[in-house]
Amino acid sequence: MNINKMDLNLLVYLDVLLREKNVTRAANQLNITQPAMSNGLKRLRDLLNDPILVRTSDGMVPTERARELAPVVRGVLLTLEETLQPNKDFEPLNSQRVFRIMASDYAASTLIPALLKKMRVQAPHTSLDIMTPSDVTFHDVENGKVDMAINRFDQLPQSFHQKTVWRDSFSCLINAQNPVLKNFNLDSYLKAQHIWVSKTGFGVGVGMDPKDVQKLGWVDEALAKLGKQRSISVFTRNYHVAMHLAVGIDLIATLPSRAAKLYDKDPTMAIMDPPFAIPSIELKMIWSPLLHQDASHIWFRRLIVETADELN
């Protein structure tokens, strides 16, 4: 292929087509007409000597060649956008910027209050738009629509920038009147009823199966290695719900220690170390390469790191 024949717009078309796998949706994404996108697909097929998208009973499916090109094209476009972005100075005291972040309620309750306190002093006219994992996709972060995602992530696209905010151990949050506290050990832990709570990554959650240990997460995987299994009465994706349930009922909530310590001054609650070893978790912040050189984003990242360091 002669690179001189390649229109840069065709790379943009190819990127969107391979993500949407639909000509009409790709056209809508770029605010062009469907015939214009169809013409772009035809030109791409001629240039690459490949169908790119093939119609099947499951819809349009990328060819093997297209799947190989997808991450390369995405990387090229992201690098180009990042390079061409204007570099403007950021004045926190005068800025009215809205910082949009995706944060789990664990991160929102343990990190965000201290972060907001700093923002009110250093950048009093800025705002925070806090979204849940269900509100955001990887594409939203990658395209710079969301400034930052703060959560625990099992897998991440290689194009993202990332930094560890902190590591956290686990604690058991238990009503102080719960009889299990009289002799809190592994046996009494297993005989009790439990609240399961977890939410990592992005997207809407699905129903849980108590028998599917592989999907239950750190606590239950740690128990499975001991050949043990706890009895779970409630499944929730919200840490505050889990903590409130532990306050009012004789259920045990095993959750990250920073969340449990929100109740460390509540005389009706007890915070105990789990009676078995659970690997620590890692809270990360991730962001798009499109925002990496943005002056306001650099300031915001530094403020998050500074806040986390002080909390540590």
Measured distance CA(237)–CA(231) in Å, rounded: 17
- Quick one: pLDDT at residue 77? 85
Measured distance CA(184)–CA(68) in Å, rounded: 54
What average pLDDT score do residues 13-35 get? 89
- The number of residues making up the chain comes to 312
* Rg of the Cα atoms in the chain: 24
Strands 193-197, 161-168: pairing kind: unpaired
The percentage of the chain sitting over the pLDDT mark of 70, rounded to a whole number, equals 91
Per-residue model confidence as pLDDT tens digits over 266-287: 999 999 999 999 999 999 999 9
> Could you tell me the pLDDT band of residue 210, with boundaries at 50, 70 and 90?
low
Residue 142 scores a pLDDT above 90 = no
Q: Are 250 and 192 in contact (CB under 8 A)?
A: yes
What average pLDDT score do residues 40-46 get? 91
What average pLDDT score do residues 140-166 get? 89
Residue 223 scores a pLDDT above 80 = yes
Per-residue model confidence as pLDDT tens digits over 286-306: 999 889 888 999 999 999 999
The candidate with the shortest Cα–Cα distance to 195, out of 139, 236, 238, is 236
CATH superfamily of 92-167+282-311: Periplasmic binding protein-like II (3.40.190.10)
- Kindly report the backbone phi and psi dihedral angles of residue 174, in degrees, each rounded to the nearest multiple of 5, phi listed first: -135, 140
Stretch(es) of the chain classified as CATH 3.40.190.10: 92-167+282-311, 170-279
Strand residues in the chain grouped as ranges (E): 53-56, 59-62, 98-103, 127-131, 148-151, 161-168, 170-175, 193-197, 231-236, 251-256, 269-272, 281-287
> Could you tell me the pLDDT band of residue 170, with boundaries at 50, 70 and 90?
very high
What average pLDDT score do residues 131-135 get? 89
- Quick one: pLDDT at residue 79? 79
The pLDDT mean for the chain works out to 88
The candidate with the shortest Cα–Cα distance to 300, out of 139, 43, 172, 112, is 112
Measured distance CA(207)–CA(116) in Å, rounded: 33
Q: Which range has highest mean pLDDT (88-97, 173-182, 237-246)? A: 173-182
Stretch(es) of the chain classified as CATH 1.10.10.10: 3-84
- DSSP 8-state assignment for residue 141: H
Residue 178 scores a pLDDT above 90 = yes
Strand-by-strand arrangement of the 281-287 sheet: 127-131, 98-103, 148-151, 281-287, 161-168
CATH superfamily of 170-279: Periplasmic binding protein-like II (3.40.190.10)
Q: Are 197 and 242 in contact (CB under 8 A)?
A: yes
Rounded to two decimals, the pTM is: 0.70
Question: Which residues fall within 8 angstroms of residue 265, CB to CB, at 6 or more apart?
Answer: none
Fold of 3-84: Arc Repressor Mutant, subunit A (1.10.10)
